């Protein structure tokens, strides 16, 4: 497998590339910023800014920008997460220079026209309504809200309605000047690419970006986890949607790979997938055989300094008591007993997922960009596979004992939740099932 190459421009901006077969190239800019770097007053500005970058620059109108990409047969996209904002284009290899110039133009020369800002507010408010109609999205937003309550990591990416309505050019410009600096940006390329050429193009187009913010420093609140819950009871809904989680370490934590393996050990399933009753995974087997849940999905969500490991489930109200007892037991059992066959199956599944990220320039580019911001380097797939293969039952038990055993959980639930035990009852049931006698600390509640 080819290796990634990394260079640094004179202003401190990093340039990373990784070749792969084909005639296309994906180039992009990964920025170390997102909703976590916002304040309560400007929450939503990072996502709003992502929209405004495509509304015209000093050199191109919005329609000219769209036409230029279309004429190249290219694809231009962007997204904002809690810790990263990404802009990338996929084009034919001969158009790499043009694509990078367009990215540089929108990131450095956007107009941020007040009229466009006012128009975009209605677009983002409609997007918010669409998100609110997706219960799974809402559940995970509420999970972050309760687990990281009172901190920036607990806020939504889109921000509240009042912030969107109050957005103006000054707020956007201030955010750009503070966060879009060379020390927080990485130019990334993958595909039919020459690294030296990419470095020259990056220097030409991004060499004048300020090395760091000349004004105030970027806001970054420390993540403070709080064992707590939010329940939004709607008895007219046919099923309850639940996200149950416990706190773990961030991306660079030594136990990251054991948790990724554990995620695959718990697995993913829904009622439309046949054969669930024959699964080797106990939680899935019981969910299918006893109609305990309609969907089970383990998750491992990590950030720079913290993370959440848990299970998202959808179930009818009368099954919630049994479901949550089994979810808690499944997670806690990882600290006691490891099914070696299931462990090996989970490792193979994770290795396949890892290797699938090498399938195409866009997947490689996204993984390379994410790792440059998360790890500060490219973790080669060979190293990743070796780290997965090194996970054994002892590593699983050690990580689970450290992070999952006898911990205050975070829970978000939406729907007919009346059959669920309350927070303390759930914690006590888990304590009894694991023969623990340590008093459980009082949680926060929100209903």
Beta carbons of 393 and 335 less than 8 angstroms apart: no
Beta carbons of 238 and 315 less than 8 angstroms apart: no
Catalytic annotation present for 229: no
Q: Which residue, chain included where needed, has tokens 């290795």?
A: 351
Catalytic annotation present for 38: no
Q: Which of the following is catalytic: 50, 229, 366, 367? A: 50
Beta carbons of 434 and 254 less than 8 angstroms apart: no
Q: Which residue, chain included where needed, has tokens 């440059």?
A: 372
SS3 sequence, 228-252? EEEEEECCCCCCEEEEEEEEECCCC
Burial of 127 (0-12, 13-18, 19+ CB in 10 A): middle
Beta carbons of 17 and 5 less than 8 angstroms apart: yes
DSSP states along 276-302: GGG-SSHHHHHHHHTT--SEEEEEEEE
Task: Kindly list the distances between the CA atom of residue 214 and the CA atoms of 146, 169, 175, 178, 344, in Å, as whole numbers in the listed order.
Answer: 35, 19, 12, 8, 51
Q: Which of the following is catalytic: 120, 239, 366, 367? A: 120
Beta carbons of 96 and 110 less than 8 angstroms apart: no
Beta carbons of 11 and 207 less than 8 angstroms apart: yes
Angle at 271 between CA 269 and CA 275, to 5 degrees: 75
Strand ranges of the sheet holding 185-191, from the earlier edge strand across to the other edge: 5-8, 14-19, 185-191, 24-31, 85-92, 75-80
| Exposure letters 196-231 (e unless 16+ CB within 10 A, then b) | eebbebbbebbeebeeeeeeeebeebebebbbbbbb
| CA quadruple 53, 59, 60, 65: dihedral sign | negative
Catalytically annotated residues: 50, 120
């Amino acid at each position: 497998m080819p290796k990634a190459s990394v260079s640094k421009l004179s202003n401190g901006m990093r340039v990373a590339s990784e070749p792969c077969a084909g005639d296309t190239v994906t180039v992009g800019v990964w920025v170390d910023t997102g909703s976590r770097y916002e304040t309560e007053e400007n929450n939503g500005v990072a996502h709003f800014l992502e929209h405004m970058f495509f509304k015209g620059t000093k050199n191109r109108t919005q329609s000219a920008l769209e036409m230029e990409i279309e004429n190249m047969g290219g694809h231009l996209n962007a997204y904002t997460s809690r810790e990263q904002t990404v802009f990338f284009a996929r084009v034919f290899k001969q158009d790499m220079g043009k694509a990078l110039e367009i990215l540089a133009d929108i990131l450095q020369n956007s107009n941020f026209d007040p009229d466009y800002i006012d128009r975009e507010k209605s677009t983002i408010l409609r997007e918010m309504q669409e998100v609110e109609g997706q219960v799974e999205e809402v559940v995970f937003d509420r999970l972050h809200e309760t687990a990281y309550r009172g901190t920036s990591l607990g806020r939504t990416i889109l921000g509240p309605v009042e912030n969107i309505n109050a957005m103006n050019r000054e707020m956007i410009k201030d955010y750009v000047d503070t966060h879009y600096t060379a020390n927080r940006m990485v130019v990334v390329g993958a595909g039919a690419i020459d690294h030296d050429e990419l470095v020259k193009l990056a220097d030409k187009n991004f060499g004048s970006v300020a090395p760091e913010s000349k004004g105030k420093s970027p806001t970054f609140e420390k993540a403070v986890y709080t064992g707590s819950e939010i329940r939004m009871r709607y008895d007219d809904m046919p099923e309850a949607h639940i996200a149950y989680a416990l706190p773990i370490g961030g991306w660079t934590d030594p136990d990251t790979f054991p948790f990724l393996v554990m995620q695959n050990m718990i697995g993913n399933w829904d009622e439309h997938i046949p054969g669930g009753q024959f699964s080797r995974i106990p939680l899935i087997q019981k969910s299918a055989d006893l109609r305990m849940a309609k969907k089970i999905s383990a998750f491992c969500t990590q950030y720079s300094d913290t993370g959440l490991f848990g299970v998202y489930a959808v179930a009818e109200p009368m099954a919630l008591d049994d479901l949550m007892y089994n979810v808690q037991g499944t997670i806690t059992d990882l600290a006691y007993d490891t099914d070696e066959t299931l462990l090996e199956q989970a490792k193979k599944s994770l290795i396949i997922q890892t290797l699938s990220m090498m399938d195409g320039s866009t997947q490689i580019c996204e993984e390379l960009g994410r790792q440059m911001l998360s790890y500060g380097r490219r973790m080669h797939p060979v190293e990743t596979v070796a780290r997965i293969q090194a996970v054994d039952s002892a590593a699983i038990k050690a990580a689970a004992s450290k992070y999952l055993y006898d911990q205050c959980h975070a829970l978000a639930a939406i729907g007919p939740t009346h059959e669920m035990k309350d927070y303390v009852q759930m914690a006590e049931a888990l304590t009894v099932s694991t023969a623990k006698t340590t008093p459980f600390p009082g949680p926060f509640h929100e209903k």
